[in-house]
């Protein structure tokens, strides 16, 4: 028999003004937990993991998204609704752009608090929301107008250093992104020593390796290399070695000496034929078998499609009824160099049509821009990166495993942010860009006719000030005085909290990534505006465990 719920767990229907007041309490609690992490001199939030476990050390957190994720429930159920709403907003921002959660939290809180005050005085929530949404669009347009491009090793290094707060890592990330570009392939691995290092690999590589170790010819490097190779690309399974004879015949007639057969599976007897032919065959054909990259049928098709654009030729697909018996010379792609080891396949200098390759990549970029799903975007970015002609590996150092884990996490977050900066540009940092929206908002407020419109711009004025105000408070400065100093300056000018002076933020290398600021502001204001229209809360009988999202 289930135990009787405690009083605070009992089902309840809550009405105004308790809804707004309760939610505001939760929003303030969540924001206060994240607030210390805003700025270049963040303070740490300690997450106590010791309850119920011995020998565990507390978790040190400086990332607003993770802090929010660790808060899974607040005992005050009305407050819990507000806190969990903000938690979801923060985690969404974190997932989408990797940063900006503290900015989102303080903007959300300022918007919601201002809205609650206005509604308590008798304002209309729906009209207010409409004007907040309109004001949000104007803020986003204003931010677009302030956006500048970031390019070149120096600018990228400065930006990476601002993001990571680690000069050595910033320098390497600046160099890496200058070379690989915004879509380039970057692997972040734990290194051997204390320091950071990087390595560049030429060509494209996939995760399909040799079908058998007997196909390895370079024993020392445990790989096989082919030159001026023909490439058969298929998702067929090759059981009967006789199926390979038409391909061999075509190659020999065409004077091809190296052949890579990329297929889903090859029988042992067929592999044996390749080895036998290589070692003792009368015909001069060095043929190897490689597993088609990808696990699912869709992933394999995608990989084959990319390879065909890169190498030329045509994929032989099971679904199209293709077989090896009707293969033609024009079906084979060509590669200047090709290598494979037990787990990877690399291609350098595919002989496909370069114009088709450029068109293909341009198409993938377009699809990337219009894709909304984070997983889809990740896959597209990986495909584009593979086709760009090289990849980089960043080795992160550290004395302890914890230090390495932290550095890897930091580098991963920074690389996501760098890609965003290169794609969408940068804004004057330190909250200056949002402060730069104030004059536009003041103008709109002065032109407002409806009370809700005037109230919305007033609320937004407070919201755009909130990140700079928090940043100043976090670094021990007096916000009122400094915000006053910044009232009459242009959007490029802000307050350098480290140097303690008013400065041109872009010139000082204090930059924020446009996509991060816009995502944070968009998520915060639109969600807060929506939350303001909530009039009734229904609490269930048993508060479910918060979802681990």
Partner 1 sequence: MSEPSSDNALPEEFPTDLVYALASTPDLETCFAARVTGLYQSKDGCQTWHTAYDSLGISDPLPTTSVVLAPNYDGETHRNVLSGVPGGVLRSTDGGETWLVTILDSPPPAVSALAMSPNFVEDGVILASTTEDGIFRSANHGSHWARWNFGLLDLNVFCLAISPGFAEDETLFAGVESGIFRSTNGGRAWREVELLVGYEPVISLALSPTYPQDHVIFAGTESQGLLFSEDDGVTWTQLGAAVITDPVNSILLSPDFAESRAVLALSESSLCLSRDAGATWTQVPNAPESMTAVLAPQGIARGATLLVGQMGGAVSLMALDL
Per CB under 8 A, residues contacting partner 1 are: 151-153, 178-181, 184, 200, 202, 227-228, 336-337, 349, 354-355, 357-358, 361, 387-390
Minimal distance, residue 285 CB to partner 1, in Å: 17
* Token couple for 436: 């730069």
Q: Which is nearer to partner 1, 227 or 533 (CB)?
A: 227
Classify 521 as helix, strand or coil. Answer: helix
Minimal distance, residue 390 CB to partner 1, in Å: 4
* Token couple for 123: 């304002």
Return d(Cα 199, Cα 30) in angstroms, integer.
41
Q: Which is nearer to partner 1, 40 or 389 (CB)?
A: 389
Minimal distance, residue 278 CB to partner 1, in Å: 19
Q: Which residues, in sequence order, are bridge partners of residue 348? A: 337
Chain centre distance of CA 287: 40
Helical packing angle, 101-120 and 18-34, nearest 10°: 160
Q: Which is nearer to partner 1, 418 or 440 (CB)?
A: 418
* Token couple for 405: 């884990």
Minimal distance, residue 335 CB to partner 1, in Å: 11
Return d(Cα 404, Cα 399) in angstroms, integer.
7
* Token couple for 197: 């290092």
Give the Cβ contact number of residue 411 at 10 Å: 25
Classify 483 as helix, strand or coil. Answer: helix
Minimal distance, residue 150 CB to partner 1, in Å: 13
Q: Which is nearer to partner 1, 71 or 426 (CB)?
A: 426
For the chain, count helices (H), then strands (E).
Answer: 18, 19
Give the Cβ contact number of residue 216 at 10 Å: 16
Q: Which is nearer to partner 1, 203 or 491 (CB)?
A: 203
Residue 85's nearest CA partner among 17, 26, 19 is 26
Minimal distance, residue 339 CB to partner 1, in Å: 12
Question: Please, what sign has the CA dihedral across residues 237, 240, 245, 248?
Answer: positive
Minimal distance, residue 352 CB to partner 1, in Å: 10
- DSSP character at residue 324: G
Minimal distance, residue 426 CB to partner 1, in Å: 17
Q: Which is nearer to partner 1, 168 or 202 (CB)?
A: 202
Q: Which is nearer to partner 1, 58 or 152 (CB)?
A: 152
Q: Which is nearer to partner 1, 42 or 349 (CB)?
A: 349
Cα torsion for 462, 465, 466, 472, to the nearest 10°? Answer: -140
Q: Which is nearer to partner 1, 265 or 337 (CB)?
A: 337
**Do 63 and 102 contact (CB within 8 A), yes or no?**
no
Minimal distance, residue 538 CB to partner 1, in Å: 55
Q: Is 406 exposed, middle or buried (0-12, 13-18, 19+ CB in 10 A)?
A: middle
CA distances 78 to 8, 9, 258, 403, 408, Å, are: 10, 11, 70, 39, 38
Q: Which is nearer to partner 1, 181 or 509 (CB)?
A: 181
**Do 47 and 64 contact (CB within 8 A), yes or no?**
no
Minimal distance, residue 311 CB to partner 1, in Å: 12
Question: What is the DSSP code string of 39-91?
Answer: SSSPPPEEE---TT-SSPPPEEE--HHHHHHH----SSHHHHHHHHHHHHHHH
Q: Which is nearer to partner 1, 102 or 204 (CB)?
A: 204
**Do 330 and 314 contact (CB within 8 A), yes or no?**
yes
Q: Which is nearer to partner 1, 140 or 361 (CB)?
A: 361
């Amino acid at each position: 028999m289930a135990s009787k719920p405690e009083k605070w767990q009992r089902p309840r229907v809550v009405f105004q003004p308790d809804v707004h007041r309760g939610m505001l309490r939760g929003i303030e609690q969540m924001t206060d937990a994240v607030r210390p992490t805003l700025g270049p001199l963040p303070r740490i939030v300690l997450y106590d993991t010791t309850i119920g476990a011995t020998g565990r050390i507390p978790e040190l957190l400086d990332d607003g998204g993770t802090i929010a994720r660790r808060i899974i429930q607040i005992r005050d159920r009305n407050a819990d609704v507000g806190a969990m709403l903000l938690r979801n907003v923060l985690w969404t921002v974190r997932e989408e752009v990797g940063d900006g959660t503290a900015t989102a939290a303080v903007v959300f809180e300022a918007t919601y608090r201002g809205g609650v005050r206005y509604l308590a005085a008798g304002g209309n929530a729906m009209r207010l929301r409409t004007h907040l949404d309109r004001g949000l669009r104007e803020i986003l347009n204003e931010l677009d107008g302030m956006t500048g491009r970031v390019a070149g090793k120096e600018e990228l290094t400065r930006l990476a250093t601002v993001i990571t707060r680690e000069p050595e890592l910033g320098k390497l990330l600046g160099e890496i992104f200058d070379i690989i570009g915004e879509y380039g392939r970057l692997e972040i691995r734990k290194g051997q020593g204390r320091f950071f290092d990087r390595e560049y690999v030429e060509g494209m590589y996939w995760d399909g390796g040799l079908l058998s170790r007997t196909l390895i010819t370079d024993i020392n490097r445990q790989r096989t290399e082919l030159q001026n190779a023909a490439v058969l690309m298929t998702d067929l399974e090759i059981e009967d070695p006789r199926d390979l004879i038409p391909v061999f015949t075509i190659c020999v007639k065409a004077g091809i000496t190296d052949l890579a057969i990329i297929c889903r599976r090859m029988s042992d007897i067929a592999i044996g034929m390749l080895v036998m032919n290589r070692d003792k065959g009368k015909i001069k054909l060095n043929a190897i078998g490689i597993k088609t990259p990808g696990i699912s049928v869709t992933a394999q098709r995608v990989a084959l499609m990319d390879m065909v654009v890169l190498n030329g030729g045509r994929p032989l697909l099971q679904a199209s009824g293709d077989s090896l018996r009707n293969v033609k010379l024009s079906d084979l792609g060509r590669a200047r160099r090709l290598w494979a080891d037990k787990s990877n396949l690399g291609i350098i200098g595919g002989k496909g049509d370069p114009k088709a390759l450029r068109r293909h990549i341009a198409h993938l970029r377009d699809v990337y821009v219009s894709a909304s799903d984070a997983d889809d975007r990740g896959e597209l970015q990986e495909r584009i990166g593979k086709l760009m002609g090289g990849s980089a590996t960043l080795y992160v150092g550290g004395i302890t495993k914890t230090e390495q884990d932290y550095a890897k996490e930091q580098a991963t977050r920074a690389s996501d942010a760098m890609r965003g900066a290169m794609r969408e540009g940068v804004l004057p940092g330190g909250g200056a860009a949002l402060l730069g929206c104030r004059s536009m908002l003041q103008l709109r407020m002065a032109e407002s006719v409806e009370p809700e419109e005037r109230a919305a711009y007033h609320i937004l004025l407070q919201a755009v000030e909130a990140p700079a105000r928090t940043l100043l408070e976090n670094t021990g400065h007096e916000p009122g005085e400094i915000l006053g100093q910044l009232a009459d300056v242009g959007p490029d000018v802000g307050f350098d909290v480290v140097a303690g002076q008013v400065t041109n933020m872009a010139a000082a290398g204090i930059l924020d990534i446009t996509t991060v600021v816009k995502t944070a502001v968009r998520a915060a204001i639109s969600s807060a505006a929506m939350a303001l229209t909530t009039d009734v809360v229904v609490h269930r009988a048993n508060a479910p465990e918060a979802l681990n999202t």
